[in-house]
Amino acid sequence: MTSLKSLAKFFPILQWLPSYQKHSFAGDLSASLIVAILLIPQSIAYALLAGLPPQAGIYASILPLVVYAFFASSMVQSVGPMAINAIMTATALAPLAATGSSQYIALAASLALLSGVFLTLLGLFKLGFITQLLSHPVINGFSSGAAILIVLGQIAPLLGVSIQGEHVGQLLLQLMLAIPAMQPFGLVCLGLLWLAGGPLAKRLQHFSHGPLLSKISPLLLMLVITATVYFLNIQTKLIGAFSAGLPRLFWPQLNQTNLAQLWLPAITIGLAGFLQSITIAQSLALKTKRSIDSNQELIGLGAANIAAAASGGFPVSGGFSRTAVNAASGANTPLAGVMTAVWIALAAHWLSDYLALLPLPLLAATIILVALRLIDFDFFLKSWRYDSSDGAAFICTAIAVLALGAMLGIVAGVGLSLLLFLYRSSQPHIAVVGRIAGTEHYRNIRRFTTQTSDHIVAVRIDESLYFGNIAKVQTELIDILNKASNTQHLLLIMSAVNSIDFSAMQAISLLQENLRARHIKIHLAEIKGPVMDHLRRSEILENLDGEVFLSAHLAMQTLSGINEDFSI
Amino acid sequence: MTSLKSLAKFFPILQWLPSYQKHSFAGDLSASLIVAILLIPQSIAYALLAGLPPQAGIYASILPLVVYAFFASSMVQSVGPMAINAIMTATALAPLAATGSSQYIALAASLALLSGVFLTLLGLFKLGFITQLLSHPVINGFSSGAAILIVLGQIAPLLGVSIQGEHVGQLLLQLMLAIPAMQPFGLVCLGLLWLAGGPLAKRLQHFSHGPLLSKISPLLLMLVITATVYFLNIQTKLIGAFSAGLPRLFWPQLNQTNLAQLWLPAITIGLAGFLQSITIAQSLALKTKRSIDSNQELIGLGAANIAAAASGGFPVSGGFSRTAVNAASGANTPLAGVMTAVWIALAAHWLSDYLALLPLPLLAATIILVALRLIDFDFFLKSWRYDSSDGAAFICTAIAVLALGAMLGIVAGVGLSLLLFLYRSSQPHIAVVGRIAGTEHYRNIRRFTTQTSDHIVAVRIDESLYFGNIAKVQTELIDILNKASNTQHLLLIMSAVNSIDFSAMQAISLLQENLRARHIKIHLAEIKGPVMDHLRRSEILENLDGEVFLSAHLAMQTLSGINEDFSI
C-alpha cells in the first residue's frame, strides 16, 4: 500500500487517470485541439529560431507532451518548444556547429538530454527550492531582455534579409546595412496578425462563439495569408519541403567534449524553462485548490526534455500563454496534452506539404508578437517605484542579456539573485530594547520612550541564528557594547529565535570568552523550548558567565542595581 | 579632511603609525624576534611542502609582511606561508608542471597573484560578507581533512622514502610498498620535537624565563639536532644549498592558458587563506575592544599575496598558531610584522649556509606536529552531539577533502555550505495563532490552548518576506487553507516582518487574486511603519479584498461572526 502510494506520488498519472471523469473529456478534447492549432505554426517558428529544421519543432511537440503527462504535477501545464528556450539553444550552439547541420541537430538533442537529466536530478534530490531563490525582478528582467533580443533577431527574416548577431550592437549595425534589401510583406503580416490577436479578438468576445473564434483567428489568418501567397504567387521565402512523419527514436551520443561545451547552457536553459513552467503552473493550481509539488514538476519537465532529446527535438518547457490557453479552453487533466500530441503527429503526417508553404516572414511576425508580450516595461516601473533596488535588479539583468546574450545574461541574473539573496540573508534584524515604564513590555529604544539601565544592554534578536547571519549579529553586538562603556551585563532576548546552529552557538560562546576580559557577562532570556534542548547538549550554558532567565523583565529586575527600579 | 579620512580607512597604517607610542615598541620588537625564529624553519618547510625550493618560503615571508602592514585592519595578524596554502598550491600545480621546475615556480607566483587580485576585488567591492557564509563545521572539516592529507604526505620525507599521491588511497598504498626502505631518524626528531613543544614547554612555564624559553625551545632543539647530524655525520637527506639573499622583484606572466588553469585554485586558496586569517583576527580583536573590518582584511591579505607573487613566493595567509604567538609575545601593531620581515631578510642573507644543513626529516617532523594540531576530532564530536546535521557537514567535508584532494574538497565544502545556507534561508517560520482566552494575546495553536474562529485563519509570519522565502510561505499558507475548508478570511499578522520586497508583495497580491475564486479575503494586521510606506507605493492594498488592521485582536473582533465572541 505504501509502495503504491509512493509510486503514485512519483507518477501522478496513477492518481488522476483511474478516477478520470467522463465529463472531463469534452474539456480535454477541445483544449487539445486549440493548443494543437496554436502549437503547429509556433513549433515550426521556434525550431527555425533555434537554427533547426522545421521538423525538430514538430518532434519536440509530440513525445515530450506524452511523457510529461505521466509525471506532471500540474493538471493544465502545456509543454513544448518555447521562444526563450529556442533563442538560448541558438546562442549555445552557434559557436559549436554550422546552423542546421547534422552535427548542430545532434547537439540540440544532446542539450535537451543534459537539460532534462539536470532537471530530473534536481527533482529527485528534492532541490526544487533552489529555483525559488530567483527574484521576480531578475526573472522578468531576463525574459524582457531575451524578448528584445528575439524581436531584433526576427526583424531580418520579417523583412526578407539575412543577418546574424548575438548581441544588440551587432544586430542593429547589420540591420542598418540591410535596409535597401528589405521587403514590406512581413510588415503586412505583422499588422494583420496584431489586429487578429488584439482589437479583433476583443470585438469577437461579444459574439456567441467569440472566445473560440478569437483563439483560432490568428490561425485562420495564417491560412488566408499562406493561400494568398500561394495562389497570387507573391515573391517571398517559404519554409520549403521538410521530412515529415513521426520522429525516429535515437539516443544523442555524448562525449567529453560535448559535455564540457554543453553543461552550462544545459543548466541555464533548464533553469530558464523551469522558471517559466513553475510560475504559470503554480498560479493556475492556486485557482483550483490544488498544490503544485515543484520537485515533481522538475521531474516532469526533466522527463519531457529527455523525451525531446530521444525524438530529435530540442529543449522544451511550459509557457505562460500556451498554458493559459490550455486552461481557458477547458483542459482538466494532462490527457489534453496527450491528445494535443496526437493531433500534432497526425498533422505532421498529413499536412507537411501544406506546412511547407508557410512564408518565413509570416512565422517571423508570429514570433515577434509573442516576444513583444514578454517585454514587461510596466513591471519595471512598478518594481522601481516600490523599491529602487528591485528595479535595479530588473534593469541590470535585462542589460546583461542585451549586452552579453541570453546565455550569459541568465548566468549574470542568477549570480545577481544569489548575491542579493546571500546579502539579504546575512543581515538579520536586532534591536536594543528598553522597558515601557510601568509595564513588563520591552521595546526598541529607537521607536519608544523606554526605561533602560546604565550597566545592562538588553538586545532582542529578531531572527534564528545560524552560520549565515551570526557574523553580522556579532559585529553589531560589539558595536553596541563599544558605545556603552559602563556595560556589565549583555542580555540577549531570544523570543524570536527559532533555532541556533552549532556555528552560532560557538560564536556566542567565543563572544563571552572574549568579553570576559572586559568584565561583561552574557545572559539569555526567553529561550524557546526546542532551542533550549539543543543548548543543553553543548557547553554554552556552562561557558556563559551570566544566567538564563525566563523573561526579559525577570532578567532586568535581577540584574539592575539598587539605584535602578525595575520592579513593578 | 574627508579624503584624508577615507585614505586612512584604506591605509590603516595612517591611523596607527602617527600615534605610535614609544612603549609599544618593546612588545613589537620581542614579538618580531620570536615570530621570525618560528617562521624561518616553517617557511622553508612549507615551501618544500608546496613543491618549491626553500628560498620561495623565505621570499614569501619578507615583502608580504611589509605590504600587509600598510593595509592591515588587524593589529596582531601574522601573515606568511601556511601549511594548508602550501598543500593546496602543490595540489593545484602538480598536474601543470614538473615539481620544482622554473615553470612550476612561475606558476606558484601566478597563483599568488590571482589569489591576491581575487581577495582585493572582494574587499574593494565590499563582498566580505560572502566569506561569512561558510559554516564552522565545514571550515573545520576542511582543515581537519587537509591536515590528515598533510600528515600522510609527510610520512615519506619523515622516514626518508619518496612517494607521491593526491588522495588517501594512493598515499597509503605507496607507503606500504616503501616500508623496507624507511629510516628511523625522522621518528626520533618527531618524538623530541613533540616533547619540546608539549610536556617540556608545560614544565618550563614555572621558571622565570619559562614562557620565552618554551616558545623558542623547538628552535633550540632544531639547532641541536642539525649540529648533531653535521658533526656526527649522520646519514640523512639535507635541504642542501639554495640561492640565498633578497628576493628579486618580477611580475608573473599571465596568459589565457594560465588563467584558465589557475582561476579556480586561486579562488579556493584565497578563500581558505582568508578564512584562517579572519577567524583568528576577529577573535583577538574582540579581546582588545577593536573591531576588524573584514573587507579591509581582504584588501590587506590580497595585497600581501600580490607582494608574494612579485617577489617569487607563493600564496600566503594569516594563521591561527603563529598569530597567537605574535599576540602573546607582545605585538601591538603591524610594525612587529615589518620587523619580522627585516629579521628574516637578514637571516636569508647571513644564515643560508647554515639553513642548508637542516635535515629534511626534521622539517617533515615540524610540519606533522603543526598539522596534527589542525585535526579537530573534538569539534566533530561536539557538533555531532549538538545537532547531527552540523556533525554531518563536518564529516562530509573532511571525507571530500580526503577522497578528492584539498582543492576539490574545499569546492565541495563551499558548495555544501551554500546549499545548507540556501535551504536554511528559504524555510521561514510561520505559525497559525489563536487567542489566549480572555486576553488580547495570540499564540501558536500548537503550543497553547487557544480560542480560534471557524471561518478565520490567523497566521503570524515570523520573518521578513522576500523572494528567497516567499515561495515556501505561499506553499504553507495554501496547505493551511486546504485543511480549513470553511475559511473566508486569511489574516496575516506582520508583527515580525521588517521588510517585504517586490517579489513577496507580488506573491501576496497573486495569492489574493487566486483565492478570490474560493471567496477568501486576505487581511493584514500589525504592519510596521517602514513596511507600510513601501506597500503604499504599490497596488497591493487596493488588490487585497480584505482590510488592514492595527492589531490582530482588532481584526479578530471585526471579522468574527455573531456566534463567536472575540470581545473582552
| pLDDT per residue as tens digits for the range A525-538 | 988 888 898 899 88
Cβ contact, residue pair A502, B383, below 8 Å? yes
Residues of A in contact with B136 (CB under 8 A): 467, 502-503, 506
The 10 Å Cβ neighbour count of residue B261 is 18
CB contact under 8 A, A534 and B467: no
Do residue A514 and residue B475 have CB atoms under 8 angstroms apart? no
Given an 8 Å threshold on Cβ–Cβ distance, is B426 in contact with A467?
Answer: no
**Taking CB atoms and an 8 Å cutoff, what residues of chain B touch A474?**
282
Which among B402, B366, B364 has a CA at the least distance from the CA of B162? B364
Three cell numbers written together for A565: 527600579
Q: Report the half-sphere exposure of A285 (CA within 13 A, side-chain side).
A: 22
Chain B residues closer than 8 Å to A470 by CB: 132
CA nearest B78: which of B330, B410, B370, B376?
Answer: B330
* Binary contact (B501, A135; C-beta < 8 A): yes
Q: Do A132 and B426 touch (CB under 8 A)?
A: yes
Decide if A308 contacts A316 (C-beta within 8 A): yes
pLDDT at res. A113:
95
Cβ neighbours of A511 in B, within 8 Å: 286
Which residue's C-alpha cell is 498533422? A347
A129 and B423 within 8 Å at the Cβ level: the answer is: yes
Q: Do A472 and B287 touch (CB under 8 A)?
A: no
**Residues of A in Cβ contact (< 8 Å) with B130:** 422
Cβ pair B487, B453 in contact under 8 A: no
C-alpha cell belonging to residue B30: 620581542
State yes or no: pLDDT of A249 exceeds 70: yes
Distance, in angstroms, between A345 CA and closest chain B CA?
Answer: 35
A136 and B466: CB-CB below 8 Å?
A: no
d(CA B39, CA B58): 9
Report the alpha-carbon distance of residue A369 to residue A189 in Å, rounded: 11
Q: What is the pLDDT of residue A525?
A: 93
pLDDT in tens, A370-405: 888 888 888 899 889 888 888 888 999 999 988 888
Chain B closest-CA separation from residue A494 CA (Å) = 13
Contacts of B286 in chain A (CB under 8 A): 478, 510-511, 514-515
Q: Could you tell me where the DSSP H helices lie in B288-376?
A: 294-310, 320-328, 335-350, 352-355, 360-374
Mean model confidence pLDDT for chain B: 85
A86-90, A412-416, B36-40: least confidently modelled range: A412-416
**pTM exceeds cut of 0.80:** no
**Percent of chain A having pLDDT more than 70?**
94
How far is C-alpha A137 from the chain's CA centre?
11
Write down the residue that cell numbers 558548495 correspond to.
B415
Q: Is it the case that residue A140 has pLDDT exceeding 80? A: yes
| Contact: A132, B511; criterion CB under 8 Å | no
How far apart CA A248 and CA A245 sit, in angstroms, is 9
* Lateral strand order in the sheet of A521-525: A442-444, A430-435, A456-461, A489-493, A521-525, A548-549
How far A262 CA sits from the closest chain B CA (Å)?
Answer: 18
**Angle at CA of residue A91, ends A86 and A93, nearest 5°:** 95
Distance from CA of A446 to the nearest CA of B (A): 13
Find which of A125-139, B90-104, B299-313 is predicted with most confidence, using mean pLDDT: B299-313
Between A564 and B508, the more confident residue is B508
Find cell 501545464 and name the residue.
Answer: A77
Instruction: Give contacts of B478 with chain A, Cβ < 8 Å.
Output: 286, 291
CB half-sphere exposure, B241, CA atoms < 13 A = 1
- Tell if the CB–CB gap between B422 and A424 is shorter than 8 Å: no
A202 against A255, higher pLDDT? A255
Q: Which of B278, B386, B533, B536 to substitute to test the interface with A, most A CBs within 10 Å?
A: B386
Question: In 3-state terms, chain A is what percent helix, strand and coil (to 5)?
Answer: 65, 5, 30
For residue B330, give the C-alpha cell.
607582545
User: What per-residue confidence (pLDDT) applies to A120?
Assistant: 95
> To probe the interface with A, which of B125, B132, B486 has the most A CB atoms within 10 Å?
B132
User: Do A133 and B387 count as a contact with CB atoms less than 8 A apart?
Assistant: no
List CB contacts (< 8 A) between A501 and chain B.
135, 387, 390
CB A407 within 8 A of CB A268: yes
Share of chain B above pLDDT 70, in %: 94
Beta A456-461 vs A489-493: how paired, if at all?
parallel
pLDDT for residue B437 is more than 50: yes
- pLDDT of res. B5: 67
The pLDDT score that the predictor gives to residue B342 is 93
pLDDT at B198 over 90: no
Q: Is a pLDDT exceeding 70 seen at residue A545?
A: yes
Question: Which residues of A fall within a CB distance of 8 Å from B517?
Answer: 287
If you average pLDDT over each of A36-50, A302-316, A548-562, which comes out highest? Answer: A302-316
Nearest beta carbon to residue A467 from set B135, B464, B468: B135
Beta carbons of B501 and A387 less than 8 Å apart: yes
Residues of chain B contacting A463 with CB distance shorter than 8 Å? 463
- Is beta strand B79-80 parallel, antiparallel or unpaired with respect to A548-549? unpaired
Whole-number pLDDT of residue A549: 92
The separation between the first and the last C-alpha atoms of chain B, rounded to the nearest angstrom, is: 62
Between B193 and A130, the more confident residue is B193
Question: Nearest residue on chain B to A461, judged by CA atoms?
Answer: B496
Q: Which of B136, B286, B422 sits opposite A514 (nearest CB)?
A: B286
- Please give the residue of chain A at the shortest CA–CA distance from B284: A514
Average pLDDT over residues A116-144: 86
Residues A520-545 as b or e (16 or more Cβ within 10 Å = b): bbbbbbbbbeebeebbeebebeebbe
Task: Provide the grid cell at A141.
Answer: 528582467
Q: Å from B140 to nearest chain A CA?
A: 11
Residues of chain A in contact with residue B484, where contact means CB-CB under 8 angstroms, are none
Note the pLDDT tens digit of each residue in A19-39.
Answer: 788 888 888 888 888 888 888
- For A136, the closest of B287, B467, B518 (CB atoms) is B467
| Geometric angle at alpha carbon A156, from A154 and A161, rounded to 5° | 150
Identify the pLDDT of residue A166. Answer: 61
Distances (CA, A) of B243 to B159, B169, B213: 26, 36, 31
CA distance B514 to chain A (A): 5
Mean pLDDT computed over B270-283: 82
Q: Do A503 and B421 touch (CB under 8 A)?
A: no
Q: What is the pLDDT of residue B176?
A: 81
**Is the ipTM above a cut-off of 0.95?**
no
Does the pLDDT value for residue B303 go beyond 80?
yes
DSSP H stretches of helix in B99-255: 102-124, 136-158, 168-177, 185-197, 199-204, 210-232
CB contact under 8 A, A132 and B471: yes
What is the reported pLDDT for B485?
82
| Interface residue of A320, A503, A516, A533 to substitute, partner B, most B CBs within 10 Å | A503
Of A165, A34, A156, give the one whose Cα is nearest residue A90: A165
More confident residue, A441 or A435: A435
**What pLDDT score was predicted for residue B177?**
81
**Per-residue pLDDT band at A423 (split at 50, 70, 90):** confident
CB atoms B468 and A382 under 8 Å: no
Phi, psi of A567, rounded to the nearest 5 degrees: -90, 160
Which numeric CATH code is attached to A430-559?
A: 3.30.750.24
- In this complex, how many residue pairs, one in chain A and one in chain B, have their CB atoms less than 8 Å apart? 156
> To the nearest whole angstrom, how far is the Cα of B494 from the nearest Cα of chain A?
13
Give yes or no for a contact between A287 and A93, defined as CB atoms under 8 angstroms apart: no
Whether the predicted pLDDT of B536 surpasses 80: yes
pLDDT band, very low/low/confident/very high, at A1 (cuts 50, 70, 90) = very low
* Reported confidence tier of residue A167, pLDDT bands at 50, 70, 90: low
| pLDDT at site A420 | 77
Q: What is the mean pLDDT of chain A?
A: 85
| Contact check, Cβ <8 Å, A467/B539 | no
Helix axes B256-287, B136-158, angle to 10 degrees: 110
Contacting residues of A for B539, CB less than 8 Å apart: 382
What integer pLDDT is reported at residue B549 of this predicted model?
A: 92
What's the burial of A422, exposed, middle or buried (CB within 10 Å: 0-12/13-18/19+)? Answer: buried
Which pLDDT score, from 0 to 100, does residue B31 have? Answer: 87
Using 50, 70 and 90 to split pLDDT, how confident is the model at B289? Answer: low
Count the neighbouring beta carbons within 10 Å of the beta carbon of residue A475.
16
Domain ranges of chain B: 2-183+236-422, 196-235, 430-559
Least confident of A280-289, B299-308, B477-486, B529-538: A280-289
The residue whose grid cell reads 525516429 is A248
CB < 8 Å to A425, chain B: 421, 425, 468
CA–CA dist A241, A281 (Å, integer): 36
Provide the edge-to-edge strand list for the sheet that holds B489-493.
B442-444, B430-435, B456-461, B489-493, B521-525, B548-549
Packed helices A136-158 and A256-287: angle between N→C axes, nearest 10 degrees: 110
The verdict on a CB contact (< 8 Å) between B390 and A501 is yes
The answer to whether residue B563 scores a pLDDT higher than 70 is no
Span B334-382, pLDDT tens digits: 899 999 999 999 988 888 888 888 888 998 898 888 888 888 888 899 8
Q: Do B385 and A424 make contact, defined as CB atoms within 8 angstroms?
A: no
B383, HSE (Cβ side, Cα atoms, 13 Å): 24
Give me the residue from B468, B496, B510 closest to A133, CB to CB. B468
Comparing CA positions, the residue from B293, B288, B298, B302 lying closest to residue B333 is B288
Residue of B nearest to A140 (CA): B503
Pairwise CB contact (< 8 Å): A514 & B287: yes
Is the pLDDT at B1 greater than 50? The verdict is: no
